[in-house]
Chains A and B, each alone.
Chain A
Amino acid sequence: MHKSPALRRYNYTVLGLSLAYMGALFGIVALFRTRPPHGTLAYAAAILPALPLVGIFLAWGRYLTDEPDEYIRMLTIRQTLIATGFMLSATTIWGFLESFGLAVHIPAYAAGILWFAGLMLGGCVNIFAVRTGRS
């Protein structure tokens, strides 16, 4: 398994940001339950758990830029395109189902979760393509 310094840096960054996300999420949920903030503070508090996730998206972008191995970079870009296509398709389909009252409302942050699921799908496509000799 190829592990460049860029990939190692990405993994450590994601680990740190995931812990920050968990901490922020639990903290903010508890805050809104016990002493709900008001006004600007409420907006700032509500956005707080999203920031580590935005950081993960930025870290992924940085990894794509920093990965020195062009073949691995190509595979990673394909994985990203599959993830983005999967997320856009799923949210578009769900949006229409929702508009016609055929599906329940899902929060917009589900798009990020779908994108991460798409990354896993893209990783599987890459493994299949490599193993079957399709690059």
Chain B
Amino acid sequence: MKNRLKVLRAERDWSQGDLADRLEVSRQSVNAIETGRYDPSLPLAFKIAELFDLSIEDIFTSPSKES
């Protein structure tokens, strides 16, 4: 699933490890989500959205809307 995680992380000057620590997941998880190789569960997606103070739709692109 496409997402803006890398951009949002870069805006805050966070490394993947920094974001992983804040989300309490592994750096591998952040990398897999960022590159679209893994779609997070709803609870983790909410956690990501709350961390950036955005809605899930502001971060993740619905697969049905991907061109």
Q: How far apart sit A89 and B17, CA to CA, in the bound complex (Å)?
A: 40
- Is B18 interfacial (CB-CB < 8 Å)? no
- Is A72 interfacial (CB-CB < 8 Å)? yes
The answer to whether A74 touches B35 (Cβ under 8 A) is no
Residues facing A in B10-53 (CB within 8 A) are 24-29, 32-33, 35, 37-38, 40-41, 44
The total of chain A residues at the interface (CB under 8 A) is 12
Taking CB atoms, residues of chain A closer than 8 Å to B35 are 133
Taking CB atoms, residues of chain B closer than 8 Å to A72 are 26, 28-29
The answer to whether B38 touches A68 (Cβ under 8 A) is no
- Is A43 interfacial (CB-CB < 8 Å)? no
Q: How far apart sit A41 and B24, CA to CA, in the bound complex (Å)?
A: 50
- Residue positions of A touching B, CB distance < 8 A: 2, 4, 68-72, 74, 130, 133-135
Given contacts A2-B27, A4-B26, A69-B26, 15 further A-B contacts (CB under 8 A): A2-B26, A68-B24, A68-B25, A69-B25, A70-B29, A70-B40, A70-B41, A70-B44, A71-B25, A71-B26, A71-B28, A71-B40, A74-B38, A133-B35, A135-B32
